[in-house]
A and B are shown apart, each in its own frame.
Chain A
Amino acid sequence: MSGETVHAAPASSVSEKAVPGWFGLVPAITLAVLFLIPFAIMLSVSVAHRVPGGFFEPGFEWTSYERLLSPFFGRILYTSVAISAGAAAICIALAFPFTIFLAGMRHRVQTLVLVALLAVLSLSEVIIGFSISTLLSRTAGIGNLFAAIGLIDGPRSYTPGLFALMTGLCYLVFPYAVLVLYPPVSRLDPELRDAARMMGAGPLRTFFTVTVPLMRAPVLGASILVFVFTLGAFLLPQVLGRPNHWTLSVHITDQAIFQSNLPFAAAMAIVLLLVALLLVGLTLLLGRESGGRR
């Protein structure tokens, strides 16, 4: 270990000399202008004066934020959190064993499964929404199959509704959940499990007394990230859910594009941003804690 640190010092100075300092400036300026400034503008728009039918004019008023204090908005926030938390919980419950089994497979099998997961992950919500709504529809869907087996009387549709929405959300985040869990799970020392097994613990007992305690922080962190990811779903609630399932993200899109009320959309986005930042910060903190303990 000490040999490594001694080696690390000259190595970093070598790499430092390999890259000129101005390399940092180009991305710094680009990202500052194109990523930070948009957020600054959004903040200013959220307190700007709305011009009905147009965009907005500069100003300072709390109108948009005051609208956020209404019971209507409270219900939206509650719906968003309840739906996202439900989907995140189901997803992690399915993805955690999946990832553990996956990490134990041969390298080749892992590669194949990862290709499949990445392919699903790269699909946009539009395509997922279309595919799931087709799968659950009356003309093409599983209702046909159930009717053919004799499970139900005739073909029926399962969309839109809460079931369809939850299916869609789980489909959307499952690959993400596995890929977030994959690094910590695959680094888990298999010898610890082997040791427990050798001492006579059964597979279930090994899972609950060795794997779960070791993985508590990573799983909690992954749950939060998956929750934030689901909070961002803006299209599935529209396509697969009913209007009372519309989440905050749907309302942001709706206000920005169809009601052309940019200040209100910006105010909602700021609230969502704060929630997301808070949760991601919490995740980073959790990660550091578990890293320190090791």
Chain B
Amino acid sequence: MTRGLRLFYICFILFLLALPIIVVTGISLNEGRSLRFPPEGLSLRWYGALFQEGDWLQPLRHSLIIALSASLLSVTIALPLALYVWSRGNWLGRALHTLGIAPFMLPPVITALGFLVFWVSVGMYGQMLATIISHAIFLVTLPVVTISLGLRSIDMALVEAARTMGASRGQILRGVILPLIMPYIISGFAFAFVLSLNEYIVAYMVAGFTVETLPIKIFNSLRYGYTPIMGVVAVLFVALAIVVFGLIGRYGDLPRLMGSDRSGER
């Protein structure tokens, strides 16, 4: 197939993927409360409304707090895990690696129900802390994968050199290994942050009625009446994801991060 035809296929699919987002962007610009496309009268009033109307401001605040704490927590769990798995190939290392990957491989409904019964049993059902911890465990796979990738790319000669120069274990860890894998830690954090912000089912099952996040709020609005604010949230989420992944792509090697071996050669 010719180069032009291939490019056309890729662009066509990307256009289909963009289509719903284009329509939703149009809707978010409506002047009135209607959901028309093309919009009737252009206005940014619904963008302001998201940050002013109490019943949308509260979910926004919840979502940000949860995403920030959960992604920090998941990196805190993933970093020692990845370091241990990287340094030792024993049974605990393999078991930990499987445990780190598992939360993301299973249908999320199952994990969500597991968290629901767990928090009910512990007596923390409906608390924000429960949502934060659940998200941290659920999304731990992402920093585990990125940090492991970073560790595998470390040139062991550097570590060996630091050791022969008399650096202690702590010094090597802080002075050599951590700086080298820092970009991978940050990408893992960013992945977890974006996905936590968008996550619905776990947040809903664990504390859906008390701690409303933006996706939960949108879902509730799907049942009780659409407003253009829902479009605004969707647009902001897409924009944020593009900025975050764009930055990772700009300063890191995204094709390599996604598992391509030969990307560096091109």
Binding site for B on A (CB under 8 A): 10-12, 14-21, 23-24, 26-28, 30-32, 34-39, 41-42, 45, 55, 94, 97-98, 101-107, 110-120, 122-135, 137, 139-141, 144, 171, 174-175, 179, 182-183, 186-187, 203, 225, 228-229, 231-232, 234-235, 239, 249, 252-253, 256-257, 262, 265-266, 269, 272-273, 276-277, 280
Contact A101 B237 (CB under 8 A): no
Residues of chain B contacted by A257 (CB below 8 angstroms):
204-205, 208
Q: Are B34 and A110 in contact (CB under 8 A)?
A: no
Whether B260 and A119, one on each chain, are in contact in the complex, defined by CB atoms closer than 8 angstroms, is no
Evaluate whether A94 and B13 lie within 8 angstroms (CB atoms) in the complex, with A131-B24, A134-B37 already known. yes
A selection of 7 A-B contacts at a CB cut-off of 8 Å is A42-B117, A101-B6, A122-B241, A130-B24, A132-B20, A134-B226, A257-B208
User: Judging by beta carbons under 8 Å apart, are B222 and A18 in contact?
Assistant: no
Residue B109 at the A interface, CB < 8 A? yes
Q: Is there a chain A Cβ closer than 8 Å to B212's Cβ?
A: no
Distance A133 CA – B35 CA, assembled complex (angstroms): 12
Smallest distance from the beta carbon of A175 to chain B beta carbons, Å? 8
B1-38, CB < 8 A from A: 1, 6-7, 9-10, 13-14, 17-21, 23-24, 26-27, 34-37
On B, residues with C-beta under 8 Å from A are 1, 6-7, 9-10, 13-14, 17-21, 23-24, 26-27, 34-37, 77-78, 80-81, 83-84, 86-89, 92-93, 95-96, 99-100, 102-103, 105-111, 113-118, 120-121, 133-134, 137, 140, 156, 159-160, 163, 169, 172-173, 177, 194-195, 198-201, 204-205, 208, 215-216, 218-219, 222, 226, 230-231, 233-234, 237-238, 241-242, 245-246, 249, 254-255, 258-264, 266
Cα-based distance from A273 to B233 in the complex (angstroms): 33
By a CB distance below 8 angstroms, the chain A residues around B34 are: 139
Check A115 against B259 for contact (C-beta < 8 Å): no
B260 & A182 in contact (Cβ 8 Å cutoff)? yes
* B205 & A115 in contact (Cβ 8 Å cutoff): no
Contact A140 B23 (CB under 8 A): yes
Chain B nearest CB, measured from A56 CB (Å): 9
Is the CB–CB distance between B241 and A186 below 8 Å? no
